Amino acid sequence: MKNIIGRKVGMTSIFTADGRYVPVTVIEATPNTVLQVKTVATDGYNSVALAFADARKNGLTKPEAGRFTKLDLTPKKHIREFRKSIDGAPEVGGTVSVDVFTAGEHVDVVGISKGHGFAGGIKRHNFHGGSRTHGQMIHRQPGSNGDTNSGHTHRGSRRPGHYGVDRTTHQNLEIVRADLERNLLLVMGPVPGPKNALVIVSAAVRPPKVAKEAPTVKAAAKGKK
């Protein structure tokens, strides 16, 4: 598994090598420090802990900072553990950079979605709502709550409520560019969360089996040769 922790910078559009104009999300992932490698022998399972973004001097508690200073590493703000190891044998104290990914590859991106507060059914569940005109007095209301025969509201029925700030995964986004010089990943399409939010980029769990109709960046690069 390939993983990296980064920061969502924002969105823009980019021309690909074959001249397509594609929307991309820019993710900045300064080299992640490998903080800990867990193995079955020592911990009962395999995993790698990565750390991202330098912490302020007083940004961490002593025990948190201790994990770094013990290994003579610069303290980082965010630590995430990934089950299964990163390809190759990562060493504690080593780094993971954006060059683990190449253009054309598919990735899953995890983020915390934007908060919408207490949202109604239309925004939260894509209800249609009533007509604005023609006399009814139901516009954005959720409508029926279910049958009266059963005497209770069915569990899991979609109602207004808190929306957003959920851990959200977008699967199979294509890497458009991996810029090692500036530690940038350009991922096609949107990514969950607001700007400056933490995102986790991993190799796709379920990559598409068949090439899509539209030529991917990789296919186009091949065709050019």
Partner 1 sequence: MYVGRKETMNVIDLLEREQLKSDVPDFRPGDTVKVYSKIVEGGKERTQMFEGVVIVRKGGAIGETITVRRISHGVGVEKSFLLHSPRVEKVEVSKRGIVRRSRLYYLADKVGKAARIKEKKVAR
In the list 46, 47, 53, 189, the residue contacting partner 1 (rule: CB under 8 A) is 53
In the complex, minimum distance from the CB of residue 185 to partner 1, in angstroms, rounded to a whole number: 11
Q: Is 22 in the site for partner 1 (CB under 8 A)?
A: no
In the list 60, 73, 79, 198, the residue contacting partner 1 (rule: CB under 8 A) is 198
Q: Is 174 in the site for partner 1 (CB under 8 A)?
A: no
Phi and psi torsions of 202, nearest 5°: -135, 155
In the complex, minimum distance from the CB of residue 154 to partner 1, in angstroms, rounded to a whole number: 34
Q: Is 60 in the site for partner 1 (CB under 8 A)?
A: no
The residues near 144 (Cβ < 8 Å, ≥ 6 apart) are none
Q: Is 125 in the site for partner 1 (CB under 8 A)?
A: no
In the complex, minimum distance from the CB of residue 21 to partner 1, in angstroms, rounded to a whole number: 6
Q: Is 197 in the site for partner 1 (CB under 8 A)?
A: yes
Strand, helix or coil at 122? helix
Strand, helix or coil at 105? coil
From edge to edge, which strands make up the β-sheet containing 47-54?
76-83, 47-54, 32-38, 95-96
Nearest to 178 by CA among 195, 203, 198, 197: 203
In the complex, minimum distance from the CB of residue 15 to partner 1, in angstroms, rounded to a whole number: 6
User: 142 — alpha (psi -120 to 50), left (phi > 0) or beta?
Assistant: alpha
Q: Is 118 in the site for partner 1 (CB under 8 A)?
A: no
Question: How many residues lie near partner 1 (CB under 8 A)?
Answer: 23
First-to-last C-alpha distance (Å) of the chain: 30
Cα Dmax for the chain: 71
User: 120 — alpha (psi -120 to 50), left (phi > 0) or beta?
Assistant: beta
Is 110 or 173 the residue whose CB approaches partner 1 more closely? 110
Is 130 or 164 the residue whose CB approaches partner 1 more closely? 164
In the complex, minimum distance from the CB of residue 64 to partner 1, in angstroms, rounded to a whole number: 16
Q: Is 184 in the site for partner 1 (CB under 8 A)?
A: yes
DSSP letters spanning 162-174 = EE---EEEEEEEE
List contacts with partner 1 (CB under 8 A).
7, 9-15, 19, 21, 26, 28, 52-53, 77-78, 112, 182, 184, 186, 196-198
